[in-house]
Amino acid sequence: MAQQIADRRDVDFVLHEQLNVAELSKHEKYAEFNKKTVDLIVSEARNLAVKEILPTRKEGDDEGVKFENGEVIVPECFRKPFELLREGEWTAMPEDPEWGGQGMPRAVTMAAAEYFNGANYAFMMYSGLTHGAGKLVEAFGTDEQKKLYLKKLFTSEWGGTMLLTEPEAGSDVGALTTKAVKNDDGTYSITGQKIFISSGDHDLVENILHPVLARIEGAPAGTKGISLFAVPKYRVNPDGSIGEFNDVKCVGIEEKMGIHGNATCTMSLGEKGECLGTLLGDENKGMRAMFLMMNEARLLVGMQGYSCATASYINSVNYAKERLQGRNLLKMLDKDAPAVPIIQHPDVRRMLLTMKVYVEGIRSLLYYVGWLEDKADTVDDEAEKDKCHGLIDILIPIAKGYVTDRAFDVCSLGMQVYGGYGYIKEYPQEQLLRDCRITMIYEGANGIQSMDLLGRKLGMKKGKLVMDLMGEIMVAISAGKVDEKTKAFAEKVEQALNKLGEVAMHLGKTAMSEKILDAFAFSYPFMEVCGDVVMAWMLLWRANVAAGAIEKAKKKDVAFYDGQLKSAQFFCNTILPTTLGKMNAILATDSAIMDIDEASFNG
CA distance 195 to 326: 50
Indicate whether 490 and 518 sit together in one domain: yes
Give the dihedral sign, CA 492/495/496/497: positive
Q: Tell me if 304 is assigned to some domain.
A: no
CATH code where residue 131 lies: 1.10.540.10
Indicate whether 210 and 101 sit together in one domain: no
Question: Where is average pLDDT lowest: 90-99, 165-174, 402-411, 486-495?
Answer: 165-174
pLDDT of residue 225: 94
Q: Tell me if 315 is assigned to some domain.
A: no
Bridge-based pairing of strands 208-216 and 179-182 is: parallel
Indicate whether 30 and 115 sit together in one domain: yes
Bridge-based pairing of strands 159-160 and 208-216 is: parallel
For residue 6, give the nearest of 244, 359, 339 by alpha carbon: 359
Tally Cβ neighbours within 10 Å of residue 389: 14
Indicate whether 120 and 258 sit together in one domain: no
CATH code where residue 230 lies: 2.40.110.20
Q: What angle do CA 515, 521, 524 make, to 5 degrees?
A: 135
CA distance 277 to 148: 13
* Per-chain mean pLDDT for the chain: 96
Indicate whether 480 and 515 sit together in one domain: yes
Q: Tell me if 544 is assigned to some domain.
A: yes
Last residue of a domain, one of 154, 187, 221: 154
Give the range of the structural domain holding residue 117, as residue numbers without chain letter.
21-41+52-154
For residue 55, give the nearest of 81, 21, 91 by alpha carbon: 81
Last residue of a domain, one of 283, 313, 334: 283
Indicate whether 180 and 126 sit together in one domain: no
Indicate whether 210 and 123 sit together in one domain: no
Q: Tell me if 288 is assigned to some domain.
A: no
pLDDT of residue 173: 73
Q: Tell me if 197 is assigned to some domain.
A: yes
Enumerate residues 6+ apart whose C-beta is below 8 A from 181.
Answer: 188, 189, 191, 216, 217
pLDDT tens by residue, 81-95: 999 999 999 999 999
Last residue of a domain, one of 243, 261, 283: 283
Q: Tell me if 335 is assigned to some domain.
A: no
Q: Which residues are designated catalytic?
A: 443
Q: What is the pTM of this model?
A: 0.97
Indicate whether 163 and 141 sit together in one domain: no
> Are 376 and 387 spatial neighbours (Cβ–Cβ below 8 Å)?
no
Q: Tell me if 163 is assigned to some domain.
A: yes
Plot region of 205 (φ>0 → left; ψ -120 to 50 → alpha; else → beta)? beta
Indicate whether 114 and 227 sit together in one domain: no
Q: Tell me if 175 is assigned to some domain.
A: yes
pLDDT tens by residue, 547-565: 999 999 999 999 999 999 9
Indicate whether 454 and 590 sit together in one domain: yes
Tally Cβ neighbours within 10 Å of residue 476: 25
pLDDT tens by residue, 228-286: 999 999 999 999 999 999 999 999 999 999 999 999 999 999 999 999 999 999 999 99
Enumerate residues 6+ apart whose C-beta is below 8 A from 261.
Answer: 56, 60, 61, 63, 64, 65, 74, 75, 78, 120, 122, 123
For residue 316, give the nearest of 350, 339, 367, 340 by alpha carbon: 350
pLDDT tens by residue, 20-74: 999 999 999 999 999 999 999 999 999 999 999 999 999 999 999 999 999 999 9
Indicate whether 141 and 168 sit together in one domain: no
pLDDT of residue 602: 86
Tally of domains in the chain: 3
Indicate whether 165 and 149 sit together in one domain: no
CA distance 179 to 214: 5
pLDDT of residue 1: 53
Answer whether residue 2 shows pLDDT above 60: no
pLDDT of residue 43: 97
